[in-house]
Structure formats: C-alpha cells, structure tokens
C-alpha cells in the first residue's frame, strides 16, 4: 500500500512540475505575437471589433478595426497592416 502512495505522489509531483514549466513559457510565446489590424478577411478576425463582440464577425475584408494575431514584426510587412486600430 505504501508503494502505491509513493507512485501517486511521484506522479502528482511530476504533473505539477510540468504544469509550472508550461505556465512560465506562455508569456514568452505571447510576447512574440502582435495584433495586426486591417488585414483580416471577412469573418476571419481573431477577436471583437468596435462594431461586434465576437471573433469571426468582420463584415468585410481588410476592416480597419478587425485584427488577426501574427508573429511580431510581420504586420508592418503586410499591405494595409497596422498595429493600431482605426
């Protein structure tokens, strides 16, 4: 019975350690991304706009208040792309 308790404790400890590693990596990944306005196709935006409250609700292509998340530095290279909402 004590061996099974030891195995369960080891399993839980490893899950906690692994979960902590994942949580610390998430902010680094988010820092490598940016919102790019004016390049989303109709219905393909990533989040709410000034005129709607959900992702995927852009009414037209290249809507200036709709964004998609792209790797940092890419937005400025896209035609019509801006890191600021209009």
H helix or E strand, kind and range, residue 35: strand 33-37
Phi, psi dihedrals of residue 23, rounded to the nearest 5°: -65, -35
pLDDT computed for residue 6 by the predictor: 58
pLDDT in tens, 19-35: 554 445 556 666 799 99
Beta strands in 1-86 (DSSP E): 33-37, 67-71
The per-residue pLDDT for range 37-68, each reduced to its tens digit, is 999 999 999 988 887 788 888 889 999 989 99
pTM value? 0.60
């Amino acid at each position: 019975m004590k061996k099974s308790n030891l195995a369960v404790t080891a399993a839980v400890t490893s899950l906690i350690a692994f979960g902590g590693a994942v949580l610390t990596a998430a902010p680094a990944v988010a820092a490598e991304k940016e919102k790019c306005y004016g390049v989303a196709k109709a219905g393909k935006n990533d989040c709410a706009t000034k005129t709607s409250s959900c992702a995927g609700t852009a009414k037209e292509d290249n809507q200036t208040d709709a964004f998609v998340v792209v790797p940092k530095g890419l937005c400025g290279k896209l035609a019509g792309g801006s890191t600021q909402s209009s």
